[in-house]
């Protein structure tokens, strides 16, 4: 009987141990299941956040523009339109988690192939843009300048023209809408793409002031001219000679001789500017009667503003003009771009007749 009781007790204990084992197996199974499930979820999150999502094909990078005052939905639409991302939904999820929709910053961003959503959101949220190189040259009027610049930054040509026509704005820099064009020096500059029209003008004014060092201002003053007047004269020099820079100081000296003697400048390019037809290749006698302050045949002294945007080489040519006694110039009849220079009207007429004969021989009557 005693032995039976012992056996029964052992059976009960074994049953308990077996039940405990089952329970532990169940707990372990649940733990493993949770771990696996958590790993799957974790890996899914990792994929969304850190795995490459930018797919540009064979391209290493692409410039991505975000316009001023763009909404988050507009940014998403642009990303979708340009097919930059493998998954727009995963980007959207990460962007929401990192609060990007409330931190949109305009600009031009360089998106690299293989970027993750995390890296891309950080880039766009940071506002760290790549500067753009803005180049302009061969410009005669403000509309041409605005058109060229507007192709390179966000500001459109209408807003640039409007800023330059704003008398109160130009007055802050000491210019009028008629003379403000003189602050622009043809060259290549760095700007952020989302630069506004007025910020563009203000920065160009800073570059203008950098060019006009005290040394250059003193040179201008020694000629009895202001920086604006130097710019006006340089624009005429450039219009007369846009091919051979070595001739510019000679032409500058000639016009300075005329100014000192109070002679009319009699520059054909100023007539073309006054007429507003830049396709003219031959100025006629009737053109010299045009009623315009830019007609340097009728009005002595300098025109009221530049007739183009003079390059730095033209400004420097005026400041470092060549001293001589020439009073007249005429394009050479070989059409080399060089000029004949004369001290007397008699000699000048000989050269002028040769040039006019060459024009007629080529059939150039007007255009």
Domain extents for the chain? 1-40, 61-126, 132-210, 214-361
DSSP-derived secondary structure for 42-90: HHHHHHHHHSB-B--TT-SEEEEEE-TT--HHHHHHHHHHTT-BS-HHH
What element of type H or E holds 343? none
Q: Nearest Cα to 119, choosing from 77, 164, 85?
A: 85
Region at 83 (left for phi over 0; alpha for psi -120 to 50; beta for the rest):
left
Sign of the alpha-carbon dihedral angle for 262, 236, 282, 290: negative
Whether residue 333 contacts residue 354, with contact meaning beta carbons closer than 8 Å, is answered with yes
How large is the average pLDDT for residues 82-86? 93
What element of type H or E holds 315? helix 312-319
pLDDT digits (tens, 9 = 90+) for 9-55: 666 666 666 666 656 556 555 554 454 444 445 555 677 888 999 99
Q: Nearest Cα to 292, choosing from 308, 279, 303?
A: 303
How large is the average pLDDT for residues 153-164? 97
Rounded distance between C-alpha atoms, residue 143 and residue 161, angstroms: 7
Mean pLDDT of the chain: 90
CATH number for the domain whose boundaries are 61-126: 3.30.1490.480
Q: What local confidence, expressed as pLDDT, does residue 24 receive? A: 54
Pairing of strands 328-331, 339-342: antiparallel
Q: What local confidence, expressed as pLDDT, does residue 11 receive? A: 60
Q: Report helix, strand or coil for 317.
A: helix
Is pTM beyond 0.85? Reply is no
Whether residue 337 contacts residue 243, with contact meaning beta carbons closer than 8 Å, is answered with yes
pLDDT digits (tens, 9 = 90+) for 165-200: 999 999 999 999 999 999 999 999 999 999 999 999
What element of type H or E holds 367? none
For residue 100, what is the DSSP state? G
Q: What local confidence, expressed as pLDDT, does residue 20 receive? A: 60
Q: What local confidence, expressed as pLDDT, does residue 33 receive? A: 47
Q: Nearest Cα to 330, choosing from 307, 309, 346?
A: 346
Q: Report helix, strand or coil for 191.
A: strand
Of the CA atoms within 13 Å of residue 56, those in its CB half-sphere come to: 16
The structure tokens listed for 131 are 């500067």
Whether residue 134 contacts residue 188, with contact meaning beta carbons closer than 8 Å, is answered with yes
Burial class (CB in 10 A: 0-12, 13-18, 19+), 232: buried
């Amino acid at each position: 009987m005693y032995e039976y009781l012992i056996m029964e007790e052992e059976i009960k204990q074994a049953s308990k141990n077996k039940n405990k084992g089952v329970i532990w197996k169940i707990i372990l199974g649940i733990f493993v299941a949770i771990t696996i499930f958590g790993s799957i979820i974790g890996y899914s999150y990792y994929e969304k956040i850190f795995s490459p999502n930018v797919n540009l094909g064979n391209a290493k990078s692409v410039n991505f523009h975000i316009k001023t005052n763009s909404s988050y939905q507009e940014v998403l639409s642009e990303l979708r339109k340009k097919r930059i991302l493998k998954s727009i939904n995963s980007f959207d999820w990460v962007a929401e988690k990192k609060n990007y929709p409330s931190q949109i910053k305009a600009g031009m961003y360089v998106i690299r192939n293989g970027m993750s959503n995390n890296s891309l959101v950080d880039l766009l949220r940071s506002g760290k843009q790549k500067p753009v190189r803005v180049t302009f040259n061969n410009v005669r009027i403000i509309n041409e300048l605005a058109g060229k610049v507007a192709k390179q930054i966000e500001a459109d040509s209408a807003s640039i023209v409007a800023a330059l026509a704003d008398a109160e704005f130009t007055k802050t820099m000491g210019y009028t809408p008629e003379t403000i064009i003189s602050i622009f020096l043809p060259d290549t500059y760095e700007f952020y793409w989302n630069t506004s029209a007025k910020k563009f003008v203000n920065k160009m004014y800073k570059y203008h002031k950098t060019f006009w060092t005290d040394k250059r201002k003193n040179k201008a003053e020694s000629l009895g001219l202001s920086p604006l007047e130097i710019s006006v004269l340089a624009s005429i020099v450039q219009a007369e000679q846009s091919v051979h820079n070595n001739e510019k100081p000679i032409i500058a000296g000639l016009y300075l001789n005329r100014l000192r003697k109070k002679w009319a400048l009699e520059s054909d390019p100023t007539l073309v500017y006054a007429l507003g037809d830049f396709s003219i290749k031959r100025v006629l006698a009737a053109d010299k009667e045009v009623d315009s302050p830019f007609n340097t045949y009728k009005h002595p002294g300098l025109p009221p503003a530049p007739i183009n945007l003079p390059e730095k080489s033209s400004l420097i040519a005026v400041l470092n003009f060549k001293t001589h006694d020439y009073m007249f110039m005429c394009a050479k009849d070989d059409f080399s771009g060089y000029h004949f220079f004369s001290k007397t009207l008699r000699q000048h007429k000989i050269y002028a007749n040769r040039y006019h004969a060459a024009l007629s021989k080529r059939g150039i009557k007007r255009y």
